[in-house]
Amino acid sequence: MFNKDRFIQDCLGAISEGHEAIRELVAEAVSDRVGMMAGLGEPEHAGLTPLYRSPDLTIINFVWAPCMSLMPHNHQMFSVVGIYTGREDNVFWKRTGMSIAAAGAKSLAAGEVATLDRDAIHSVLNPIGKMTCAIHVYGGDFFAPPTPRSEWDHETLTEQRWNVEHAKALFREAEARFRATAL
């Protein structure tokens, strides 16, 4: 079974080695999808739950509401994403003057891992009708990065300062929409 405390300690030991070492740990963890679910618990609500936070490392358990979409955003640090149940579709974006343009996509299924470099811009969609759960490991403080983060409006692709409270609200709203239609 997935042991959260051991995983945190392993990531702390590997962070100085960089994102490839973290990727190996995340890949090993999500290869045991049943163990991950048992170790972190069945998701009750969409949202982001910090498991560990420091200036050098943040580990978050993400639960994406069914059919939820999160606007394009950056992290200003590397991140490693591992899916342990469900599916996560990522659209990657590149800067084009004062805006951004789609530059590629990657779909992740349970047991799969993706690494995003420091400069990556992506948007995320849970395209299925059930919760998607993912472990995200960041090479820095996700909530207070030394370089400010950005998000882009879905419709206008206008850049603005990242607001974690706005992101949390989007998780709550997506879950409420799903629950309202599931009745």
DSSP secondary structure code for residue 15 in this structure: G
Phi, psi torsion values for 141, nearest 5 degrees = -85, 105
Give me the pLDDT at residue 182, please: 67
- Inform me whether the pLDDT recorded for 150 exceeds 90: yes
Give residue limits of the domains in the chain. 4-182
Q: Is the pLDDT of residue 160 over 90?
A: yes
Whole-angstrom distance, CA of residue 92 vs CA of residue 40: 28
In the predicted structure, residue 90 carries a pLDDT above the cut 90: yes
Question: Cα–Cα distance between 35 and 38 in angstroms, integer?
Answer: 5
Question: How confident is the model at residue 69, as a pLDDT?
Answer: 94
Predicted confidence at residue 180, as pLDDT, reads: 87
Percent of residues, the chain, with pLDDT higher than 90: 89
Q: Is the pLDDT of residue 183 over 80?
A: no
The mean pLDDT of 19-36, rounded to a whole number, is 97
Q: Which residue has the higher pLDDT, 182 or 164?
A: 164
Q: What are phi and psi of 108, to 5 degrees?
A: -115, 130
The sign of the torsion formed by the CA atoms of 122, 109, 136, 77 equals negative
Global pTM exceeds 0.75: yes
Q: Is the pLDDT of residue 47 over 90?
A: yes
Q: What is the CATH number of domain 4-182?
A: 2.60.120.10
Whether the predicted pLDDT of 85 surpasses 90? yes
